[in-house]
Amino acid sequence: MNFDQLKEQWNNEDGNVNIPDNIEQLKESKHPIEKIQKSMKKEFPMQVIAIILIGLFPFQLGFPASQYIIYYISYTMMVVISTYYLYGFYKFYKQTELYTGNTKNSLWKIYHELRLNMERYQSFGFLLLPHFLVTIGLAIYNVLEKKGKNLSELTNANQAALIIAVLIGTLSVVVSVILWTKYIYGRQAKQLENILNEMDE
């Protein structure tokens, strides 16, 4: 006999004993967790492929061989950071697979792990910024070199424009990472939070 049948029988008995809907709310929470799993399944291979493709930038952007050492030192640091993040990402995915939805405590644990994973996701995006700044710096240097110039020959107006462009680019990346995180996981986190709040009432 399952829980639904048991509840129905008890509700039909004299005295109208009502069972709280907490178990039903826990069952509902499976749906946002399944959405999280689907998002993570799609995103994990995309992130791995993106990291591999970033390693090919020097060839795509035509960097001279003398700059490979600068680029690949930065790239190696990015790969180390990415590996740490992807390992945490994989561990969280495995935790969601183990979730059965039968206790409130397990739902709280998943909710807090999701929030932690969202913070980790954003931190990971921010930590990629230095590598992209190195890449952009090398690209700008190469463009100037082809024109027979260097950074010291830039006018004050051009230097100011370059600094502003870097600041705007950095802020754009930060805002994009935050919005992307909320877009992928924010709705599911809010659904889980609402279910938990309802259970506390």
Structural domain harbouring 51 = 21-200
In a domain, 193, yes or no: yes
Total of domains in the chain: 1
Q: How far is CA 47 from CA 62, 80, 84, 85, 169, in A?
A: 24, 14, 13, 11, 21
Question: Is 149 a domain residue?
Answer: yes
Residue 15 is assigned to a structural domain of this protein = no
% pLDDT > 90, the chain? 15
171/21 Cα distance (integer angstroms): 45
Q: Between residues 5 and 150, which one has the greater pLDDT?
A: 150
Answer whether residue 40 shows pLDDT above 70: yes
Report yes or no on 56 lying in a domain.
Answer: yes
Cα–Cα–Cα angle for 168, 173, 179, rounded to 5 degrees? 120
The predicted pLDDT at position 11 comes to 53
Mean pLDDT over the full length of the chain: 79
The pLDDT score that the predictor gives to residue 20 is: 41
Please state which of the ranges 21-25, 112-116, 146-150 shows the lowest mean pLDDT.
21-25
Q: Is residue 141 part of a domain?
A: yes
pLDDT in the model for residue 75: 94
Q: For residue 43, what are the CA distances in angstroms to 50, 83, 89, 103?
A: 10, 15, 10, 28
d(CA 122, CA 93): 17
Does 131 reside within a domain? yes
Q: What is the pTM of this model?
A: 0.71
The pLDDT tens digits of the residues spanning 84-131 come to: 888 988 888 888 777 665 567 777 888 888 888 888 888 888 888 889
Least confident of 10-24, 96-110, 136-150, 159-173: 10-24
pLDDT at 100: 63
What is the per-residue pLDDT for 59? 92
Query: Does some domain include residue 11?
Result: no
12 located within any domain: no
Q: Which two tokens stand for residue 166?
A: 């870097």
